[in-house]
Amino acid sequence: MTTRSIPITNDIAFGGDHPPLFIAGPCVIESREHAMSMARTIAKLRDELKVNIVFKSSFDKANRTSIESFRGPGLDEGLEILREVKKETGLPVLSDIHEWQQAAPAAEVLDILQIPAFLCRQTDLVAAAARTGKPVGVKKGQFLSPEETKNILDKGHEVGNDRVFITERGSSFGYQNLVVDMRSFPIIRALGAPVVYDITHSMQRPGGEGKQTGGTPQFARPLARAAAAAGADGFFMEVHDNPPAALSDRTTQIRPEHARAIIEDILALRAALPAI
């Protein structure tokens, strides 16, 4: 089923008959230098593969397993770094917001505002993000069925924003495990919104390493292929040049060369399959 498209910038849209959108970048802004280095790497992938990519990195990771976990530079410094990414590379940028008060200042810089999975039912937060008029990507909570995401989309529509979309990141399957139901993609698309597959976070094992989240990165490529075949409109992956040394989500971030292989897989599948 062809769903409606959402414009991200004047030059980029996804959903409907548009090419897939890729969202990629390090989980969290570790430093200005690292963010800029990764942005240049992501821009090189964009140019060489001729795809639409949005640079993603969080200015604050408020949902952490431990209070000791690294969170990022915070709103003001983080947005300045993302503004620099846009200026130098031309990449659109995305980051998470965790409080409704962050929506307006974040919208001055971000091209997409993202709502984290555990906050997807926070009405004030979703509404504040939607009221900015910017595209809003809402992570589907691990506790929600795909059908229930209609309520999230409705909140955006009710405040006048039809550029709200859903990101599928798996459902809780027992303790410390997530499973992606591939039926989610046609179900959510049937609600009229594009759907993004979160490759990285669907491989998580929440709390699987005690004070850190574990993961199963060996499944990134086959699951991305499956989601492409099931009709995902976009693909989200956290990309890091040295995942074992990453300050967040070190067990699931993807190296740039692996991200390239995944993008090439998805493009080949999209070219081979009829429109869904």
pLDDT in tens, 146-190: 999 999 999 999 999 999 999 999 888 878 788 899 999 999 999
226: left (phi over 0), alpha (psi -120 to 50) or beta: alpha
pTM (two decimals):
0.93
Judge whether 125 lies within some domain. yes
Gyration radius of the chain over CA positions: 17
Residues 6+ apart with CB under 8 A from 157: 164
pLDDT for residue 211: 56
Residue 5: strand pairing partners: 15
pLDDT for residue 276: 64
| Element spanning 22, H or E | strand 21-25
CA-nearest of 135, 80, 71 to 98 is: 71
Which amino acid, 234?
G
Judge whether 209 lies within some domain. yes
> Sorting pLDDT into bands at 50, 70 and 90, what band is 103?
very high
Which amino acid, 105?
P
Judge whether 85 lies within some domain. yes
Judge whether 4 lies within some domain. no
Tens digit of each residue's pLDDT (9 = 90 or more) over 185-236:
999 999 999 999 999 988 866 654 545 566 677 889 999 999 999 999 999 9
| CATH number, position 47 | 3.20.20.70
How many domains are there within the chain? 1
How many Cβ atoms sit within 10 Å of the Cβ of residue 244? 8
Query: In the structure encoding, which two tokens stand for residue 256, read together?
Result: 């740039």
Residues 6+ apart with CB under 8 A from 50: none
pLDDT for residue 221: 92
Asked whether 117 and 89 are in contact (CB, 8 A), the reply is: no
pLDDT for residue 70: 84
CA-nearest of 142, 101, 104 to 121 is: 142
Residue 68 is part of which domain span? Answer: 19-271
CA-nearest of 6, 3, 2, 10 to 161 is: 6
Give mean pLDDT, residues 123-128.
Answer: 98
Query: In the structure encoding, which two tokens stand for residue 205, read together?
Result: 């094992």
Selected residue with higher pLDDT from 87 and 208: 87
In angstroms, the CA 208 to CA 63 distance is 15
Judge whether 6 lies within some domain. no
* Mean pLDDT computed over every residue of the chain: 92
Judge whether 2 lies within some domain. no
> Residue 1 above 60 pLDDT?
no
Query: In the structure encoding, which two tokens stand for residue 55, read together?
Result: 């640079």
pLDDT for residue 206: 62
Judge whether 9 lies within some domain. no
Tens digit of each residue's pLDDT (9 = 90 or more) over 236-268:
999 999 999 999 888 889 999 999 999 999 999
Selected residue with higher pLDDT from 92 and 214: 92
Residue where the block lists tokens 């086959």:
222
Helix 256-272 vs helix 32-49: angle between axes, to the nearest 10 degrees? 30
Give mean pLDDT, residues 79-105.
Answer: 98
CB-count burial class (<10 Å; 0-12, 13-18, 19+) for 21: buried
Residues 6+ apart with CB under 8 A from 193: 3, 4, 6, 15, 149, 153, 164, 165, 166
Judge whether 5 lies within some domain. no
Give mean pLDDT, residues 67-86.
Answer: 92
